[in-house]
Amino acid sequence: MKINSNFQRLSQRYLFAEIAQRVAAYKAQNPNAPIIRLGIGDVTRPLPQASIEAMHRAVDECADGKTFRGYGPEHGYDFLIDAIIAHDFSPRGVALTRKEVFISDGAKSDTGNIGDLFAVDNIVGVTDPVYPVYVDTNLMTGRQIRFIPCNAFNGFTGDIPTEHFDIVYLCYPNNPTGAVITKEKLSQWIDYARRNDAIILYDSAYEAFIQDDTLPHSIYEIEGAKECAIEFRSFSKTAGFTGVRCGYTVVPEELKVDGVSLNALWERRQCCKFNGASYISQRGAEAVFSPEGQKQIRDTIDYYMDNARLIRSRLAGYGLTVYGGEHSPYIWVSTPKGEDSWSFFTRLLTQANVVVTPGEGFGVNGEGFVRITAFGTKEDSLVAAERIGRIL
């Protein structure tokens, strides 16, 4: 018997588990420390009222034998798929069929699981700094990963590579840097993919935070993307579903590798390994698209974006260099005087009682930065910014 030795290529703990462990150890020693957590991007505002009511109704349906729901359809319920197409894609000029949308329990699992479709000897390009799931899941499989440096010079969108990759992960608005990508730059990535017979895995989990309507919400707004891209979306940050769990993945019918439909492969994979997001979650997600739901999520996103503005302006006022936070809940902040990111993380934890995420945890190009989330309360964001200012 042998284990999958690829697990030995991973760091001992997943980044956010490592941070949680360090914070827990500090808290155990300092039980009264007034810790403010702006590390993991977990939301703090309650679910939209429209979703709460829809989920209550769904539970009641399941309490009655006549309306009870067991296993759902493999792709997800049509009521949710139709709402997604009508609200997230049609208004932006993207035509999708029901067959192309797969409801899931979130973008994290889908961005990891999608690797089942691809051969182990594909070369994977990831932007660096990067959401660690893309790296860790490919390491687990045994794939080779190459890093595409992202920095202030290329707007954290990477230079189009001269080398060949088979798979490229892109995430915009970006986790962790908060950067956005223009349609022009995204077109360059699509041209690259088409020239290289590569697939782009496009994580658009933060699109609802975009404030400038000329920026792309979906990669399919760009011509040619349906032939080379898969897109991941999530209700987690958009509608407070980090605990409820619901997301979706779009696999266009045009997307083929050597004549094989990736849509058919993903359907086959999902039918075999996944039993869907619950009926209750899907009804909650559907309600996000109701007029009340839309207003409620907009109010919540505005609340977080106010936090982002506040954190950005305070930290910039202290002389730190800040990026992101304009179309994204993440603020990417240079450490003071070139301090290394784990050391600044530790100082912030122990001297300011503020938890952030050290940039190095997202890749070598994250060194010299920390990521701060705007998902806290307004009070916490204000106090955290002040406390950070005091220890610089």
Segment interacting with ligand MLT (CB under 6 A) among 34-42, 61-69, 150-158, 343-351: 34-42
Among 111, 157, 175, 204, binds ligand MLT (CB under 6 A): 175
Would you say 14 or 318 has its CB closer to ligand MLT? 14
The span of 37-45, 215-223, 261-269, 271-279 binding ligand MLT (CB under 6 A) equals 37-45
**Sign of the C-alpha dihedral, residues 316, 318, 319, 320?**
negative
Between 242 and 263, whose beta carbon lies closer to ligand MLT? 242
- H-state helical runs in the chain: 15-29, 49-62, 78-84, 107-113, 132-141, 183-195, 236-239, 262-273, 279-288, 291-317, 341-347, 378-390
Closer to ligand MLT at the Cβ: 118 or 131? 131
Residues contacting 292, CB < 8 A, separation 6+: 48, 49, 50
Whose Cβ is closer to ligand MLT: residue 157's or residue 174's? 174
Question: Judged by CB under 6 A, which stretch of 18-26, 38-46, 55-63, 122-130 contacts ligand MLT?
Answer: 38-46
Task: Quote the DSSP letter at residue 335.
Answer: P
CB of 172 to ligand MLT, least distance (A): 14
Read out DSSP for 18-49? Answer: HHHHHHHHHHHH-TT---EE-SS----SPPPH
Judged by CB, which is closer to ligand MLT: 41, or 358? 41
Both tokens of 278, joined, read 């619950």
Binding-site size, ligand MLT (CB under 6 A):
6
CA atoms of 94 and 254, how far apart (whole Å): 14
Contacts within 8 Å (CB) and 24+ apart, 146-151? 147/363, 147/364, 147/365, 149/365, 150/174, 150/177, 150/179, 150/365, 151/365
Query: Whole-angstrom Cα distance, residue 43 to residue 238?
Result: 9
20 binds ligand MLT (CB under 6 A): no
CB of 41 to ligand MLT, least distance (A): 3
Q: How far is the CB of 223 from ligand MLT (least distance, A)?
A: 29
Name the burial class of residue 261, with classes exposed (0-12), middle (13-18) and buried (19+) by CB atoms within 10 angstroms of its CB. middle
Pick from 23, 36, 41, 203 the residue near ligand MLT by CB under 6 A.
Answer: 41
CB of 166 to ligand MLT, least distance (A): 24
Residue from the set 10, 35, 40, 382 that interacts with ligand MLT by CB under 6 A: 40
Distance of alpha carbon 283 from alpha carbon 287, whole angstroms:
6
Beta strand 247-250 pairing with 229-234: antiparallel
One residue of 108, 185, 312, 314 binding ligand MLT per CB under 6 A: 108
User: Could you tell me the smallest distance in angstroms from the CB atom of residue 40 to ligand MLT?
Assistant: 4
For 230, the enclosing helix (H) or strand (E) is strand 229-234
The C-alpha angle with vertex 181 and arms to 86 and 304, in degrees rounded to 5, equals 70
Residue 341: closest CA among 15, 44, 17: 15
3-state secondary structure of 262: helix
* Residue 124 and residue 138 in contact, taking contact as beta carbons nearer than 8 Å: yes
Q: Which is nearer to ligand MLT, 263 or 365 (CB)?
A: 365
Query: Which range in 35-43, 48-56, 74-82, 94-102 contacts ligand MLT by CB under 6 A?
Result: 35-43
Q: Which CB, 175 or 249, lies closer to ligand MLT?
A: 175
Residue, CB closest to ligand MLT = 41
Torsion (CA) 312, 314, 317, 318 in degrees, nearest 10: -110
Q: Nearest distance from residue 303's CB to ligand MLT, in Å?
A: 17
Choice between 241 and 266, CB closer to ligand MLT: 241
Binding letters toward ligand MLT, positions 131-150, x by CB under 6 A: x-------------------
Q: Which of residues 40 and 383 has its CB atom nearest to ligand MLT in the complex?
A: 40
Q: Are 374 and 331 in contact (CB under 8 A)?
A: yes
Under the rule (CB under 6 A), what is the footprint of ligand MLT? 40-42, 108, 131, 175
